Structure 1
Amino acid sequence: MTDRDCLSAEGLEAVLHRDIPLTREMGVKVLGWQDHQLRLHLPLAPNVNHKNTLFGGSLYCGAVLAGWGWLYLRLKEAGIDDGHIVIQDGLISYPLPVTRDGVAICDAPDQASWEKFVKLYHRRGRARLTLHTRIVADGSEETAVEFVGQFVLHR
């Protein structure tokens, strides 16, 4: 797979399914990467719980994956491919149940935070970035899950 292939939704999905096998079992699909916003599809069927809603653990995974995927794609765009992305810390809240398929959405942090992150990584070989992910029920824009994750990139 070329770097150019990795910059597409299909490329990221292939990377997720290859490098994080759980994503295949969860049925995670990359819906799109546009204007520095990543959207992932989380189907209800393979992630259902005893209440017929999306399982909280699957929602957490989906939120982390959206942040990880966002950072992966943004780093590729920036020409940075010598680092490893890990989640260091995460805080999640579940204000609403997700009763059908979910969509995990990660938006870009502010430009100043991104630039500081890149500069620090180039200088020290390690940097942290806070990313916010929300999950909505498919067809809705009402936030059902809110996640704040601290991601670390290191050489």
Structure 2
Amino acid sequence: MNPDSRHLESVLHSDIPLTREMGVEVLDWQDRCLRLRLPLAANVNHKSTMFGGSLYCAAVLAGWGWLHLRLRELGVDDGHIVIQEGQLSYPLPVTGAAIAQCLPPEDKVWERFIATYQRRGRARLTLRTQVFNAGSEAPAVNFSGQFVLHR
């Protein structure tokens, strides 16, 4: 685990205590891609699959964490990140550990987001995350969330 990953896991566990109970681990932050892991045991439902609410949290946390780390790289530390809106689909059940992944938006979208924040002190960014069964390439969850950064 690199220092950025350790930092984010510490922030999540201290600022959002639920993440500790869910067993959220930051797997890695590489090439502007964030990956989190959730164990099934702490997030199981009555069907012995992962609880939908835990999957929603994983998707939101991957986006929130991505934005937190990306802003940290730029030295932007005067803002607060909140989720404003999210849409989610569950095409497959998660039957074991879950891997939540957030990839970067297009450079042009990111640059506009940062410029808007610097100018107005508030900006919105849509991030897409997916959650997979560990070891699978087929997404079990597709999420699109609008995050707001404000001073």
Runs of 5+ consecutive residues of structure 1 not aligned to the other structure = 1-5
List gaps (5 residues or longer) in structure 2.
none
Aligned to 1:45: 41
Query: Where do 4+ consecutive residues of structure 1 move more than 3 Å?
Result: none
Paired letter, 2:118: H
Query: In structure 2, how many angstroms separate the alpha carbons of the residues matched to 1:7 and 1:131?
Result: 23
What's 1:13 paired with?
9
Preserved CA contact (<8 Å) 1:25 1:46: yes
Take 1:141 and 1:77, find their aligned partners in 2: how far apart are those partners? Answer: 29
Instruction: State percent identity of aligned pairs.
Output: 67
The answer to whether 1:148 aligns with 2:144 is yes
Aligned to 1:102: 98
| Change over 3 Å in CA distance of 1:7–1:81 after alignment to 2 | farther
The one-letter code matched in structure 2 to 1:109 is P
Contact 1:83 1:154 in 2 (8 A): yes
Q: In 2, Cα distance between the equivalents of 1:24 and 1:43?
A: 11
Tell me the TM-score normalised to structure 2 length.
0.98
One-letter code aligned to 1:59: L
C-alpha displacement of 1:8:
1.1
Q: Is it true that 1:62 corresponds to 2:58 in the alignment? A: yes
| Aligned CA-pair RMSD | 1.0
**Which residue number in structure 2 is paired with residue 84 of structure 1?**
80
Give the Cα–Cα distance (whole angstroms) in 2 for the partners of residues 131 and 151 of structure 1.
7
CA distance in 1, matches of 2:78, 2:20: 25
CA contact (8 A) 1:7 1:76 kept: no
1:77-98 CA distances to partner (integer Å, 9 max, x unpaired)?
0110000000000000000000
| Deviations 1:62-121 (CA, angstroms, capped at 9, x unpaired) | 000000000000000011000000000000000000000000000000000000000000
1:93 partnered with 2:89: yes
The letter of the residue matching 1:66 is A
Quote the residue 1:126 is aligned against.
Answer: 122
